[in-house]
Structures are given as C-alpha cells and as structure tokens.
C-alpha cells in the first residue's frame, strides 16, 4: 500500500497499511515517524495510538536530533572519536608525501590514518572517512567470522555463508536456508551486543519467527539477551559514521 503523510497537531508521521494484527510505531534514523497499521484499522484508532505513544516518539526524536548533531560535528580530523566494539579510538590523521596512500592503522587506542599532503579540507575529510570505513569493514569481517564460530558452538547451528551488508533497518537476517546477513555497523557496538545478534540469527535457522519458542531458544544460548536487545533499541541509531 502507498504511504500517506498525516499529522496530529505538530507531530508528522507516515502511515503504511499492511497485513498485520497490531499498530506499530517507529522513529527512523533520519527522524521520520513511521506507523504501520493493519488494513482495516480505522484512522481514528491509529491517531489514538500515535497520541498514546507521543511522549516516547518525542523523546526518540530528540535523541535522533542529538545524534545527527554529533554526526555533523564529526570532522574526520585528529582528535575525533571512532567507535569500535563499544569503545572509542582516537583518530590521528597524518599527512604524507607518498602518493595514493589513504590507509588506517590501529595502534592501541589510536586509529592513525595516512593521507596525501595538500588535500583541500572537504577532500581530506572524505579521504579520511573512506579510510576509516574501509578499516571498520575489514575488522567486521574478522570479528564476525570469529563470533559466528563461537555462537555456532553455543547454538549447535551454523550459517553456510555470512555476508556483511549496509542494512538500513535490520541488524541481521538468517533462516532455514542458513544464509546470514549482518549489518556492518554492528562492529561499532559492544561485544556482548554483537554476540547476541549472532545467537539471535542462528536461532532463526530452527525457528524462523519471533514466537515464544524462539525467545526461549535465544535465552537458552545467550545470557542477558534482553539487556543487549534493549541496548540496540536505545543506541542503535548512534551506530554510524
């Protein structure tokens, strides 16, 4: 169904009709308020539910504005903080006369990026961001590979293939076909959160839905899974460059 843009006083939101049983409300990373509603739910009922969620929506919108503000302030220059597995690495940008060199190297709590000398500011920032992103993707491949092996031992199931993707609204996916996709941004999250997502997706091999049976299976193999899921819901929008 096409999306309709509606408003309730000063709160704008988009509504999308789907074949589902309940009304769901979400604040997207770009600040859009999205409402998914069953095909037959009256418009008045949707507005009532949105109003009930208004305090939560407004809080999330403020958090989103702050996250976007921090993102705009990131200069990709020396002293910036680069999130990595729940910690922060201090960025150190080093200019060099060696042509074509735009790589990142970690040294303890420092992420050093070498860039060609003489770049204009905007170009330099773009080169540094690309080098940092490329380094994070390399780390994601290594980290997710090792964590997949550990999670597979715990769950007793393994994926046939693990693919790292740029996913807008999901942290991962997997099913009976045992093809797993993981959002690269997870490498910015704490270790325990990444472990939870791996267990979560591997449990979908046997149970493809989110029934009580599924959550019992997750709890069996991941202590503190509720805390990790709660962390993702609260801080997931912050996992970006």
Domain boundaries, the chain: 4-73, 81-136, 141-238
Residue range 216-226: average pLDDT?
A: 95
C-alpha 131 chain-centroid distance: 20
HEC string for 10-60 = CEEEEEEEECCCCCEEEECCCCCEEEEEECCCCHHHHHHHHHHCHHHHHHH
Which has the minimum average pLDDT: 69-78, 144-153, 154-163? 69-78
Between CA 45 and CA 51 the distance in angstroms is 10
pLDDT of residue 209: 92
Task: Find the helix or strand (DSSP H, E) in which 87 lies.
Answer: strand 87-96
Two structure tokens written together for 222? 């991941």
pLDDT surpasses 50 at 29: yes
pLDDT of residue 8: 46
Two structure tokens written together for 26? 């979400």
Percent of the chain with pLDDT over 90: 58
pLDDT surpasses 70 at 7: no
- DSSP characters for 91-106? EEEEEESSTT--EEEE
pLDDT of residue 214: 95
**pTM for the model:** 0.74
Between CA 114 and CA 148 the distance in angstroms is 32
| Residue 47 C-beta-side C-alpha neighbours within 13 Å | 9
Q: How confident is the model at residue 20 (pLDDT cuts 50, 70, 90)?
A: confident
Q: How confident is the model at residue 79 (pLDDT cuts 50, 70, 90)?
A: very high
Tokens 């997750």, located at residue? 218
We find that the CATH architecture of domain 141-238 is 2-Layer Sandwich (3.30)
pLDDT of residue 6: 44
Residue range 82-88: average pLDDT?
A: 92
């Amino acid at each position: 169904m096409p999306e309709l843009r509606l408003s309730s006083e000063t709160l704008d939101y988009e509504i999308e009709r789907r074949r589902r049983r309940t009304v769901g409300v979400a604040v997207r990373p770009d600040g859009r308020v999205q409402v998914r509603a069953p095909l037959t739910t009256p418009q008045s009922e949707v507005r009532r539910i949105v109003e009930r969620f208004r305090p939560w929506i407004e809080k999330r919108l403020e958090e989103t504005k702050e996250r976007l503000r921090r993102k705009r302030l990131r200069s990709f220059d020396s002293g910036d903080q680069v999130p990595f597995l729940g910690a922060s690495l201090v960025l150190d940008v080093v200019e060099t006369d060696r042509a074509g060199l735009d790589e990142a190297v970690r040294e303890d709590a420092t992420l050093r990026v070498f860039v060609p000398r003489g770049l204009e500011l905007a170009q330099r920032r773009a080169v540094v961001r690309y080098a940092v992103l490329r380094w994070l993707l390399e780390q994601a491949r290594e980290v997710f590979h090792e964590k997949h092996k550990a999670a597979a031992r715990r769950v007793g199931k393994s994926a046939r293939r693990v693919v790292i993707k740029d996913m807008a609204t999901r942290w991962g996916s997997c099913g009976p076909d045992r093809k797993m996709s993981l959002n690269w941004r997870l490498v910015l999250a704490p270790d325990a959160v990444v472990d939870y997502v791996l267990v979560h997706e591997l449990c979908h091999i046997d149970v493809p839905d989110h029934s009580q049976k599924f959550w019992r299976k997750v709890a069996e193999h991941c202590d503190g899974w509720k805390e990790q899921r709660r962390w993702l819901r609260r801080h997931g929008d912050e996992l970006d460059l």
